[in-house]
């Protein structure tokens, strides 16, 4: 039995060697397609060129200058330290998303509030607010979860104020 296995292995090896030698001896000038078929161009198909997606163009604010604005939008919150008890747990950053979709980091220090309820009833609930203040370039956290500017609020009010329902 072992002699039979050795003989089969030697025969298989001889066949593989013969096939390799035959493949090397075969001429390579055989065309891939018949001569009557037209050849496709070198680059097939031509690439489709779509214009790149451009972000909305906003004029930059030079450093050290401010732009006074009055924006309508929604206040959102982002919890900075949800777990670490050694720092201030639950420390929150506020963001302001305008009606047209722009997003700014919101600084509320020194702002006057004219709201129909508590401030937390406006955070993340989709209630519309009007923020007066000024924009400055964000030099601390540029391009993180928001735009390039910080909105320093001087006044936050409900559009329905003082006629609250």
- For each of the chain's 165 residues, which pLDDT tens digit applies? 888 888 989 999 898 888 887 777 655 555 565 666 666 666 666 666 766 766 666 666 666 677 888 999 999 888 776 666 665 556 778 888 988 888 888 888 888 888 888 888 888 888 899 999 998 877 766 555 556 788 899 999 888 887 776
Quick: pLDDT tens for 142-157. 555 556 788 899 999 8
Q: Give percent above pLDDT 90 in the chain.
A: 12
Task: Decide: pTM greater than 0.85.
Answer: no
Distance (Å, rounded) from C-alpha 14 to C-alpha 52? 59
Could you state, in order of their start, the residue ranges of all structural domains in the chain? 74-157
């Amino acid at each position: 039995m072992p002699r039979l296995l050795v003989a089969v292995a030697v025969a298989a090896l001889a066949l593989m060697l013969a096939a390799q030698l035959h493949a090397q001896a075969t001429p390579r000038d055989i065309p891939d397609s018949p001569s009557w078929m037209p050849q496709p161009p070198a680059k097939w198909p031509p690439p489709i060129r779509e214009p790149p997606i451009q972000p909305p163009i906003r004029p930059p604010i030079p450093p050290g200058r401010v732009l006074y604005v009055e924006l309508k939008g929604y206040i959102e919150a982002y919890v900075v330290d949800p777990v670490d008890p050694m720092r201030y747990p639950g420390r929150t950053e506020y963001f302001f998303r305008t009606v047209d979709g722009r997003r700014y980091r919101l600084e509320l220090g020194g702002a006057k509030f004219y709201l129909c309820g508590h401030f937390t009833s406006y955070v993340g609930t989709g209630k519309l607010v009007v923020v007066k203040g000024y924009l400055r370039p964000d030099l601390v956290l540029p391009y993180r979860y928001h735009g390039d500017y910080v909105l320093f609020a001087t006044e936050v009010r409900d559009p329905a104020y003082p006629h609250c329902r």
